[in-house]
Amino acid sequence: MPEIRIEEGDITRLDVDAIVNAANSTLLGGGGVDGAIHRAAGPQLKAHCAGLGGCPTGEARITPGFNLPARYVIHTVGPVWRGGNDNEPDLLESCYRQSLGLAAEHDCRSVAFPAISCGVYGYPLEQAAAVAVSTVQHFLQSHEQPATVLLCCFGDAVASAYRQALEAG
């Protein structure tokens, strides 16, 4: 039975098959978790991403993990929060669903997500956590892989919002 776990800490250190990056549409790196993943993966990641032609909001692209412990990085572009009436929930759900689809297609048994859009992009934590948990639960009802999904939380506030969403789910 696939499982969903809350994992607190730095996603770049997780020894999982794939980590998900909260990227921007250029896929050429940035701050936050995007910056941390590019720093840990090394310059080959940016060079590889430069050949992908970017990624629209709500979609995902997969690359090797290079110097990371993870075999793959799945880059997804979350929505910028604009008040909640600009299709943000559907776009965020699409990020999780498309990232899980790529993980399953690449036989990943384990995948870790950061709290997509909850930093620079300003998505309210509780609402984002509810979308994340419900989308992952729904996907795992009809897929055997990935067997383990880690929701990697950077800090107590994020972890508590995700725990609440998991308990309510």
Q: Based on the shown chain and the rule CB under 6 A, indicate whether residue 162 belongs to the binding site for ligand APR.
A: no
Q: Based on the shown chain and the rule CB under 6 A, indicate whether residue 4 belongs to the binding site for ligand APR.
A: no
Closer residue to ligand APR, CB minimum distance, 133 or 152? 152
Q: Residue 71, Cα to own-chain centre: how many angstroms?
A: 15
- What radius of gyration, in Å, describes the C-alpha atoms of the chain? 14
Q: Based on the shown chain and the rule CB under 6 A, indicate whether residue 120 belongs to the binding site for ligand APR.
A: yes
Please indicate whether residue 10 is annotated as part of the active site. no
Specify the stretch interacting with ligand APR by CB under 6 A; choose among 44-52, 103-111, 131-139, 153-161.
153-161
Specify the stretch interacting with ligand APR by CB under 6 A; choose among 41-49, 66-74, 115-123, 160-168.
115-123
Nearest distance in Å: CB 154, ligand APR: 3
Indicate if the alpha-carbon torsion angle 122, 140, 26, 11 is positive or negative: positive
Closer residue to ligand APR, CB minimum distance, 108 or 151? 151
User: 123-130 long-range CB contacts below 8 Å, 24 or more apart?
Assistant: 123/78, 123/79, 123/81, 123/88, 123/92, 124/81, 125/157, 125/158, 125/161, 126/161, 126/164, 126/165, 127/84, 127/89, 128/92, 128/161, 129/158, 129/161, 129/162, 129/164, 129/165, 130/165, 130/168
Identify the residue among 20, 24, 127, 149 touching ligand APR (CB under 6 A).
24
Q: Based on the shown chain and the rule CB under 6 A, indicate whether residue 116 belongs to the binding site for ligand APR.
A: yes
For binding to ligand APR (CB under 6 A), which residues are involved?
A: 10-12, 22-24, 30-36, 78, 114-121, 152, 154-155, 158
